[in-house]
Structures are given as structure tokens and as C-alpha cells.
């Protein structure tokens, strides 16, 4: 058995959960926050049998696509100390960060 830990953007979370559940995967949802853009993420925990791992990974890849987004980043004003003005920067968001762990034991009580 494997444990998939998938960190996805909030925008993709509901669709991904619905798709995984429609294919008979059990999903636990955790609300998390990303470090870089400090935006909302969702971390999903999905326990899967070894033979279903590739299918589950395919579902995640199909639903969670990377895309471009405009974010504001602080920029120092020339000649001043401690004064920052936000300016738009294009960043890539979305997709998924996935960890797959071996599960030594699983019990449902």
C-alpha cells in the first residue's frame, strides 16, 4: 500500500477530490498555506493499493495543470531605504507537488 501526499492549489482541489472519489479513492483534505506566494493550498492524503498507484497519479496529473498568474512582488524605490512598491510579476502556479510513501501498516477502525 502507498500513501500519496498531494499538495494542490485551492482552485484545483474540489475537482480533484470529486474525480478521485468518483474512481473509488478515499481522500482526506487538509487546508494548508504555501510558502512562496503565501496563497491557499490543499494537501490531500490518499491511501492506494500498489496496483492503483499509477491510475491515481494519472488522475492528479489530468486535473492539476500548471498555469501562469500575475502576482505582485515588492521592489525597492531607487535611492530610498525601506520603501517598497509592488510591481506585477508573472509566476507559474497550479500543478501538484506529490510525495508517495510506503505504508507499513493500515487499519480502519
Query: HEC profile for the chain?
Result: CEEEEEEEEHHHHHHHHHHHHHCCCCEEEEEEECCCCCCEEEEEEEEECHHHHHHHHHHHHHHCCEEEEEEEEEEECCCCCCCEEEEEEEEEEECEEEEEEECCCCCCC
pLDDT at 14 over 80: yes
Render pLDDT for 23-57 as a digit per residue (tens, 0 to 9): 999 999 998 877 655 667 899 999 999 999 999 99
Q: How confident is the model at residue 82 (pLDDT cuts 50, 70, 90)?
A: low
pTM, entire model: 0.74
pLDDT value for 65: 82
In CATH, what class is 2-102? alpha beta
Cα–Cα nearest to 63, from 101, 6, 24, 102 = 6
pLDDT value for 7: 93
Angle at 62 between CA 59 and CA 67, to 5 degrees: 140
Cα–Cα nearest to 10, from 94, 84, 92, 77 = 94
End-to-end CA distance of the chain: 17
* Domain extents in the chain: 2-102
Amino acid at each position: 500500500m502507498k500513501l500519496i501526499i498531494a499538495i494542490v492549489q485551492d482552485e484545483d482541489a474540489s475537482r480533484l477530490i470529486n474525480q478521485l472519489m468518483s474512481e473509488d479513492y478515499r481522500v482526506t483534505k487538509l487546508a494548508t498555506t504555501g510558502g512562496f506566494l503565501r496563497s491557499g493550498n490543499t494537501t490531500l492524503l490518499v491511501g492506494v493499493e500498489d496496483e492503483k498507484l499509477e491510475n491515481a497519479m494519472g488522475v492528479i496529473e489530468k486535473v492539476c495543470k500548471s498555469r501562469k498568474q500575475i502576482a505582485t512582488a515588492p521592489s525597492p524605490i531607487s535611492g530610498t531605504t525601506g520603501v517598497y512598491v509592488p510591481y506585477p510579476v508573472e509566476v507559474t502556479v497550479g500543478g501538484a507537488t506529490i510525495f508517495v510513501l510506503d505504508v507499513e501498516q493500515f487499519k480502519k477502525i
